[in-house]
Amino acid sequence: MGDLYDSQRAMRQMRKAAMQRGVVAILDVGTSKIACLVLRFDGPEQFRSDGVGSLAGQSQFRVIGAATTRSRGVRFGEVDAMQETERAIRTAVQAAQKMANVRVDHVIACLSGARPRSYGLDGTLNVAGGMVTEQDISQVMASCDVPDYGADREVLHAQPVNFALDHRSGLADPRGQIGNELKTDMHMLTVDATAIQNIFYCIKRCDLELAGIASSAYVSGMSSLVEDEQELGAACIDLGGGSTGISVFMKKHMIYADSVRMGGEHVTSDISMGLQIPMATAERIKTFYGGVMATGMDDREMIEIGGDTGDWEHDRRTVSRAELIGIMRPRVEEILEEVRERLDAAGFEHLPSQQIVLTGGGSQIPGLDGLASKILGQQVRLGRPLRVQGLPQAAIGPAFSSAVGLTLFAANPQDEWWDFEIPADRYPARSLKRAVKWFKDNW
Amino acid sequence: MRSLIRRPVADAAPRDPAPSRLGYRYQRLMLTPGFRSTVRIGVPIILILSIVGSWYSKPENRAEFAATIKDTKQTFQQRPQFMVQTLNLTGGDLTVMTEVAALLPSEFPVSSFDLDLEKIRADIEALDPIKSASVRVGQAGALEVRLNPRVPVALWRDGATLRLIDAEGTESGQINARADRLELPLIAGDGAEDNIDEALHLFAAAGPLIERVRGLVRMGERRWDMVLDRDQRILLPADGAVAALDRVIALNDAQDMLNRDVAVVDMRNAARPTLRMNEEAADALRRVNTTTSNNGAGN
C-alpha cells in the first residue's frame, strides 16, 4: 500500500499548496454535465467579525467562478472517450476561469462511476496500559487486515470511522487515553484503477494538477445530508445521469458507498426508444413533462413530440403525459429497486434512523418522493445541497449537490488513512527520520 | 434524387463548443498575473521606446527636434506679455546711473526670460557707490532698477587720493579736491577706515572746536590724533578717546588753551595730560621763568 500512501499524500500536499495560493477548482465529471467551480479561500472567517462562524464554517471560501457544460465522452460516470472528455473539461474550466478572472492550476475532481466497492476493516493493537499516542493510532490502522480487493482497483477513501479502547467504543480521538487494547474500524472504498487513471490523464492534458479525488456519492452526501442525518444515520441517493450513487452516513462518517449503473440518461433513452424520437427531444420532453405518478388529468394532456421527416403525420405526433409517465416510471422503479437491493445488502435497516435523501438531477422528477417512499421506506425526502457563498443561482439545484459537496470536501476534508503519521516500521530502514524518531522516543 | 425540402444534414446538430488547446492555453497564459502585466504594460512601453529611439537615433531628426524645441521656446518667450520695453532707473546721481546703465541690457525690447535679474542685481551691488539695489520687472514691461547708493560720511586721505567712506568704512568713490566735499570730515592714516564710527563720534564730540578741526589721523592703527589748524594736534588715547577730547574742550573753555601757542596736547596718558608748546613759546616761557627765579631767588 506504499504506492497509495504516496499518491494520496502527494495529492494532499498539492491541496495544501492550492489552499496556500487561495484558488482551487472543483470539477464534477458527470455523465450528463461537467461542472466546474472556482473557489477562493480567504482564510478562516473573513466575512464575519463577531466571531460566530456563519454557514457552519463553510464561509472560509467563496465561489468566484462557475461553469457547466454538456458532458461528452462520459458513460456511466466513467471516461469513455478521452479526447471528448478532455474538450468538455477544457470548456468548463475555461468558462469558470473567465468568470473568476484568475488562473487555476489545482483541481479537485470527483467521479460517480468506476464501480465503487466498500469494505469494512478493523484492526487491533495492544498498547499494554500505556497512553495512546499518534504512533499507536497509525499502528492500529496499519494492523487492519486489508482484503484482497484486486490489482486493478485503487483505494479512493480509507477513513477511520470508529476507535475503541478496551470496552469503550465510539471514541472519536483516543489519543492520550489509557487502556490496553486499541481497536479501530475503517471504511475503505475502492474503485477501478483505470477510471481514475483516465480522469487523471484527462485533467493532466488540460494543464491542471489533480489536488484530490473523491467519490461523487460521498461528496453529495456531505452536501445534501443535514448534520443530524449524518449523525443518526441516513442514506443519500444521488440520481445522476449515467449512474446513481448511494452513500450511507453514520456518526458523521461514510460507512458505505456504492453505485447503480443506471440513471437519468437511461430514462431518456427509454423515452427516445419508446416514442421514436431523438435523444435531444426525449430529454426536453422528460424535463418539461416528465413524472412518475399518473393522474386522470395526465391522460388529457397531450404533448407534441414533433419530428423533422417532412411526413406530416409523423411530424404531428402527440403523446399523452400518461404515456410518458408509463415509459418513465418502470425505469425509475428499476433504479430505485436496485438501490433498495444495495441498501439491503449493506444492512441499512439496522441503522437507528433510516432517513433517505434523494438528490442529483434525477431527483427533480415530479412525484419521485412518493414513488421512492413506496420502494425505499417511509422516511424519504428530497435533498438540495448546502448553500455556499457566491454560488450562482443557476447552480444551487440538486444537480449540483456533488459539486457543492466537493467544495466542502476541499474546505474541510475528513481525515483519511494517509493523513495520519506513517507507522514507524514503515519508514525505510536507514532513514534519518527514523533515527530522529528513535531519539525522540528514547530521550 | 435531391430532396425537395431542406433537410438537416446528419451532423448539423449544434456541435458542442470547446476551446482549442491553443486557445485554452492562451487564455490561461493571459490570466497569469505576471504575464498579463508584462503584455499590457511592458510590451507597449518597449514598443514606444523602440519607435522613439529609432527615430531619435538619426542625427537629422535630433537636430530637427532640438530646433523645434528651441523655436517653441523662443516663440513662447517672445510673446508681448513677457517683453521688457523700458528701463526705469531711480536713485543715485548721474555718474552712478551712467555706471549702472552700462551693466543693464542696452537694447529694448528684450524678453524677461533673457534677463537674469539676480545676476544684474549682483553686478550692480558690486559697484562701489551702490549699497544695495532692487531689480524687478514691473508694470507695463518696465525694468525697474532702484538704487540705494552709499552715503559718504567721511573723506579718507590716502596719499594724494581722497576717498569717500561711508559709515561701514566702505569706499564709495574718489574725489579730486578736498574742496569738492568740504562738509565731510577728513580722516587719514592706516586703519582709519575700520574705525570710522569712533572717528564720527570724535567729530561729533568736537563741539566748539569743529571750526578748527582739519581732520583725524589714525596713529599706529591704534588711536586717533585730532589735527587742528595752525598745526595743533590733540593726541587722543586708544581707549576713552571721546572722554579725553571732552577734557581738552573743557580745558580750552576754561583757559582758552588752544588759542595759545600750543603745538601738541598729549592726552594719551589720562593721569598725566601733557602740553607741548611751540619753540618760541617755550623759549619765551623759559626766559620768563629765569627772570622770575632771579627776582625771587629766595624761593
CATH code of B88's domain: 3.10.20.310
Summarize pLDDT for B183-238 with one digit per residue, the tens. Answer: 788 888 887 777 788 888 888 888 788 888 888 888 888 888 888 888 888 888 88
Torsion of CA B89, B94, B99, B105, to 10 degrees: 30
Question: Which grid coordinates belong to A353?
Answer: 434512523
User: How many other β-carbons are positioned within 10 Å of the β-carbon of residue A370?
Assistant: 11
Same domain, B214 and B271: yes
Same domain, B181 and B242: yes
Q: Is the CB of A101 less than 8 angstroms away from the CB of B5?
A: no
Domain boundary among A167, A192, A217: A192
Torsion of CA B122, B127, B128, B133, to 10 degrees: -50
Summarize pLDDT for A2-24 with one digit per residue, the tens. Answer: 466 677 788 888 888 888 888 99
- Residue A78 pLDDT > 70, yes or no? yes
- CA A260/CA A360 separation, integer angstroms: 13
DSSP code per residue over B131-191:
EEEEEEE-GGGEEEEEEEE--EEEEEEETTEEEEEETTS-EEEEES-GGGGTTS-EEESTT
A82, A186 contact by CB (below 8 A): no
Q: How confident is the model at residue A292 (pLDDT cuts 50, 70, 90)?
A: very high
- What is the pLDDT at residue B266? 87
In a domain, A168, yes or no: yes
In a domain, B169, yes or no: yes
A171, A146 contact by CB (below 8 A): no
Name the residue facing B24 among A90, A101, A308 (closest C-beta). Answer: A90
- What is the pLDDT at residue A273? 94
Mean pLDDT over B85-107 rounds to: 81
Same domain, B180 and B216: yes
Domain boundary among A192, A211, A239: A192
- What is the pLDDT at residue A426? 62
B141, B84 contact by CB (below 8 A): yes
CA torsion sign, A10 to A14 to A15 to A19?
A: positive
In a domain, A347, yes or no: no
User: How many other β-carbons are positioned within 10 Å of the β-carbon of residue A308?
Assistant: 12
Nearest Cα neighbor of A109 from A14, A224, A227, A174 is: A14
The mean-pLDDT minimum among A189-203, A273-287, A412-426 falls in A412-426
Looking at residue A309, the DSSP 8-state letter turns out to be S
Contacts of B31 in chain A (CB under 8 A): 97, 101-103
Output phi, psi for B78, to 5 deg.
Answer: -90, 10
Same domain, B128 and B202: no
Output phi, psi for A13, to 5 deg.
Answer: -60, -40
Please provide the average confidence, as pLDDT, over all residues in chain B: 83
Q: How confident is the model at residue B135 (pLDDT cuts 50, 70, 90)?
A: confident
Greater pLDDT, B295 or A336: A336
Q: Is the CB of A90 less than 8 angstroms away from the CB of B18?
A: yes
Same domain, B183 and B281: yes
Contacts of A97 in chain B (CB under 8 A): 27-28, 31
- CA A98/CA A91 separation, integer angstroms: 11
For A99, the closest chain B residue by CA position comes to: B31
Query: What kind and span of H or E run contains A67?
Result: strand A61-70
Q: Is the CB of A310 less than 8 angstroms away from the CB of B24?
A: no
Same domain, B185 and B261: yes
- Residue A441 pLDDT > 90, yes or no? no
In a domain, A140, yes or no: yes
In a domain, A382, yes or no: no
Nearest Cα neighbor of A268 from A322, A328, A194 is: A328
Q: Is the CB of A103 less than 8 angstroms away from the CB of B13?
A: no
Summarize pLDDT for A190-220 with one digit per residue, the tens. Answer: 999 888 889 989 999 999 988 889 999 999 9
Same domain, B249 and B230: yes
Number of domains chain B is built from = 2
Q: Is the CB of A87 less than 8 angstroms away from the CB of B8?
A: no
Minimal CA separation from B10 to chain A, in Å: 12
- CA B86/CA B120 separation, integer angstroms: 16
- Residue A1 pLDDT > 50, yes or no? no
Q: Is A147 helix (H, G, I), strand (E, B) or coil?
A: coil
Nearest Cα neighbor of A255 from A186, A353, A202 is: A186
Greater pLDDT, B12 or B117: B117
Same domain, B145 and B230: no
Compute the half-sphere exposure of residue B28: CA atoms within 13 Å on the CB side of its CA: 17
CATH code of A299's domain: 3.30.420.40
Same domain, B103 and B127: yes
For A73, the closest chain B residue by CA position comes to: B16
- CA B18/CA A88 separation, integer angstroms: 7
Number of domains chain A is built from = 2
Q: How confident is the model at residue A358 (pLDDT cuts 50, 70, 90)?
A: very high
Same domain, B197 and B260: yes
Query: In which order are the strands placed within the sheet that holds A33-41?
Result: A61-70, A33-41, A23-29, A106-111, A209-215
Summarize pLDDT for B229-277 with one digit per residue, the tens. Answer: 888 888 888 888 888 888 888 888 888 888 888 888 888 887 888 888 8
For B18, the closest chain A residue by CA position comes to: A91
Domain range for A279: 264-332
Same domain, B131 and B235: no
- Residue A420 pLDDT > 80, yes or no? no
Domain boundary among B110, B128, B149: B149
In a domain, B228, yes or no: yes
Summarize pLDDT for B14-73 with one digit per residue, the tens. Answer: 567 788 889 999 999 999 889 999 999 999 999 999 999 999 999 999 999 999 999 999
For A84, the closest chain B residue by CA position comes to: B18
Mean pLDDT over A268-281 rounds to: 92
CATH code of B255's domain: 3.40.50.11690
Q: Is A374 helix (H, G, I), strand (E, B) or coil?
A: helix
Q: How confident is the model at residue A73 (pLDDT cuts 50, 70, 90)?
A: confident
- What is the pLDDT at residue B299? 47
In a domain, A380, yes or no: no
Which of A23-27, A178-182, B1-5, B153-157 ranks highest by mean pLDDT? A23-27
On whether any CB of chain B is under 8 Å from the CB of A206, the answer is yes
Domain range for B90: 80-149
- What is the pLDDT at residue A405? 92
Which of B22, B27, B37 has the highest number of chain A CBs within 10 A, making it the mutation to test binding with A? B27
- Residue B298 pLDDT > 50, yes or no? no
Q: Is the CB of A91 less than 8 angstroms away from the CB of B19?
A: yes
In a domain, B235, yes or no: yes
In a domain, B116, yes or no: yes
Same domain, B172 and B141: no
Question: Which grid coordinates belong to B237?
Answer: 588715547
Which amino acid belongs to residue A117?
A: R
In a domain, A391, yes or no: no
For B5, the closest chain A residue by CA position comes to: A310
Domain boundary among B101, B121, B149: B149
CATH code of A126's domain: 3.30.1490.110
Determine the straight-line distance between the first and last CA of chain B, rounded to whole angstroms.
183
HEC states along A199-241? HHHHHHHCCCEEEEEEEHHHHHHHHHCCHHHHHHCEEEEEECC
- What is the pLDDT at residue A429? 60
B60, B85 contact by CB (below 8 A): no
Please provide the average confidence, as pLDDT, over all residues in chain A: 86
Name the residue facing B8 among A72, A206, A308 (closest C-beta). Answer: A308
